[in-house]
Structures are given as structure tokens and as C-alpha cells.
Structure 1
């Protein structure tokens, strides 16, 4: 346990941030898996595009807020775009 008052505060802050970051990470994983699952099951083109838009929007937000490195967010968006383009081309 922390011995100083400031260390106690840092512990509280760290716990809150840990919970928040886990939620963000989980939400991002769910969005990316959902997109992949829709493509694998040959879902409707409009549904896949909507999933793509929501995933890209989330990646942009996480990149700006520095949860992800902006280059990693950009790379993930490029990968999603490539998946979407291949899916649309096949249909």
C-alpha cells in the first residue's frame, strides 16, 4: 500500500485508467472481429460498409486521443480498407 497521500492518489488514478483502457481495448477488438465476421459470412454489402465506417471512426478517435499510436491506427484503417475493397470486388 502507498505510504504517501500523493501515491494513494496515483494508485486511484491508475486503477481508473486501467479500467477505461481495458474497455477501449475490448471495444476495438469487438469492432474489428465483427467486421471480419461479416466479411467471412458474406453479409450484405451495406452492413459491412456500416461496420467499416464505425471501426474507422473508432480507430480515428483512439489515434487522436493517443490510446493507439496514430500510425498504428492508420495502418489498421488501411488493412480494413483493403479487406473491404476485396470483399466488394468479389461481390
Structure 2
């Protein structure tokens, strides 16, 4: 176990951040899944801006890598354009 006050604090902070990142990572994955399961183009188009906003926020705070966010946004846009 840690011996210094600063290392104990660091452990507390890391645990808090880990839970925060896990929550938002899971929320992001569920949102992407929900859009991919949509077959209605109008509904998918309406959902797309909120999902891109979420992806950009997570990339900005380093929860996910910025290239991953851009790849997901690109793939979702391609999916929406293919819907009839």
C-alpha cells in the first residue's frame, strides 16, 4: 500500500477519473450502437449531431483518441448516407 499522502490522493483521483471515463465511454458506445441499429434515415440524421458532439467532447478530454472519434463520425456519416 502507498506510504505518502500524495500517493493516496493520487489513487483516489485515478479511481474517480476511471469511473468517469468508463461511464462516458459506455454512453458513447451505446449511442453509436443505437444509431447503427436505426433503419430510418430521418431519425438517424436527427441523432447524428448529438453523437458527433459527444464524440468531440470525449476526444477533447482524452477519454478516446481524436482519430477514433473522427473515424466513428466518418463511418456513421457513411452509414446514414447509405440508408434509403
> Does TM, normalized by the shorter one, top 0.5?
yes
1:5 Cα deviation from its structure 2 partner: 0.6
Tell me the residue number matched to 1:6: 6
Q: Which of the residues 65, 71, 75 maps onto 2:67? A: 71
Tell me the residue number matched to 2:25: 25
What TM-score, normalized by structure 2, do the two folds share? 0.90
Tell me the residue number matched to 2:43: 47
Gaps of 5+ in 2: none
Q: Which runs of 4+ in 1 moved over 2 A?
A: none
The higher-RCO structure (CA 8 Å, 6+ apart) is 2
1:46 Cα deviation from its structure 2 partner: 2.4
- Report the count of equivalent residues: 84
Deviation string, structure 1 residues 18-48 (Cα, Å, up to 9, x no partner): 110110111111100100111xxx23x3221
1:14 Cα deviation from its structure 2 partner: 0.7
